[in-house]
Structure 1
């Protein structure tokens, strides 16, 4: 415990001295993972220690921004969560830096940023909501994808008043044709996320979304039911399934056939609850 504290003290000192490479190397002393970078628990502990030690919010913000600009994945991951802690004081600066980090080439950095954005959206919903919503129109697929993941994370609190606005965010991405956005939207952000947190609201939205004839929107709807949570609602949403099954477009047909076969393989009794015939 004493050694850990000394290491963290050294880490904070080096950050203050802008010796970011040295700071990251110091953090490795507490344990590294597969990429020879500090493990997630180590990074989380470092973040907590910095926040508790650096009381001056302006200094903490400046430190986080400089860390975000340093070309190192660990530095950027830590920076994202330090920025999260000063959002209430510097919302515009923090939002701009996080938007830039959300487009980082390193996927692990993008994950940490999405987590930070989800936390900010949860705690500062009214202030951050329009920013995240605007991300759905960004030129970068990475930033658009971050918006959907942030919405999913914010949904974990299951706050009733968050439900519809969060669904408005993912709705804006339904017709997005980018593979990276699609991969993370229907099955993940909606199916395994918002459907779990707001089932009645999502099912009601599906009645609206199925009226969107866009191929990508239909594909996303089909993929919602391929998630573990989505499979529970296949019988309840049979009218939606029927429309998807009658869609002759290859991508939609492939998506719904794959979804139903996957669901029936997991639960063979599902066939008995459906009035429609499913090709197996």
Structure 2
């Protein structure tokens, strides 16, 4: 990766990318994730000045190439403290990229920043939850999940406040990644007591998208661990006759039945998923 870094330092970005594409490529004819991670690591180990890393990151972010943008996302995260507003602006654009793989790398980059610069980047993530793009809103949800991996106690409630802004979001792309993934498979794992306590508040929301998300929380392996203590929440969801909610909770119960059939009988839910 020395050639890659040398070309970047000389502003030969096209040649730098050529060196990556000469490495192993994945199924989408772009450098494998392992190659891109090595490239990022090479930059960090060679270039010590964050201002120079920021310059390179911003240049890569504007190249019409997915690998360039993916690498840029994590370089931007590293250089965030140099120009917070500039980095945030660049990441918001990348979060709305047409390439889904780029969006994944950007969400990871945002999670890194939120983990390491919580006080300054958290307001930015809250702002993203109101963005007109569902891609950007979805990135905020995933950033919260990644930051939750730190398990820092002081992050718990603010992260729940962040995802709470998205509970009523009707965009399928946001919903697909919120209840089941960001909360059920993420924040519930890192802050179980806080999430379970928050469910008592969230179940009071009448919005069907919010209740859809609540139902999906329990469809995950982590969520199933908390079915007993959330029995009243599940029963309340079962009383909701709206199609989206009913379908979501019954789908969840069917999954529980396959994994833990004893729970349905114990909680008087044995026929609820049929």
Bin for the TM-score computed over the shorter chain: over 0.9
RMSD: 1.2
* Structure 1 spans left out of the alignment, 5+ residues: 1-7
From 87, 99, 103, the counterpart of 2:80: 87
- Correspondence for 1:214: 207
**Is contact 1:31–1:42 with CA below 8 Å preserved after alignment?**
yes
**Structure 1 residue corresponding to 2:151, chosen from 158, 163, 166:** 158
Instruction: Tell me if the contact between 1:28 and 1:38 (Cα under 8 Å) persists in the aligned partners.
Output: yes
- Residue 166 of structure 2 corresponds to residue 173 of structure 1: yes
Q: Which residue of 1 aligns with 2:235?
A: 242
Q: Deviations over 1:20-40 (max 9, x none)?
A: 232122013332211222111
Measured after TM superposition, the shift of residue 221 of structure 1 is 0.4
Q: Is the 8 A contact 1:260 1:278 kept in 2?
A: no
Q: TM-score, normalised by structure 2?
A: 0.96
Matched residue, 1:99:
92
Q: Which runs of 5+ in 2 are unaligned?
A: none
In structure 2, C-alpha distance between the alignment counterparts of 1:60 and 1:187, rounded to whole Å: 36
CA–CA distance in structure 1, aligned partners of residues 91 and 2 of structure 2 = 26
2:32 aligned to which of 39, 50, 55? 39
2:80 match: secondary structure: coil
Q: What is the TM-score when the length of structure 1 is the normalising length? A: 0.94
Distance 1:260 1:128, change over 3 A: same
Which residue number corresponds to residue 128 of structure 1? 121
Higher mean C-alpha displacement, 144-153 vs 235-244 = 235-244
Give the Cα–Cα distance (whole angstroms) in 1 for the partners of residues 52 and 255 of structure 2: 52
* Rounded Cα–Cα distance in structure 2 between residues aligned with 1:178 and 1:119: 25
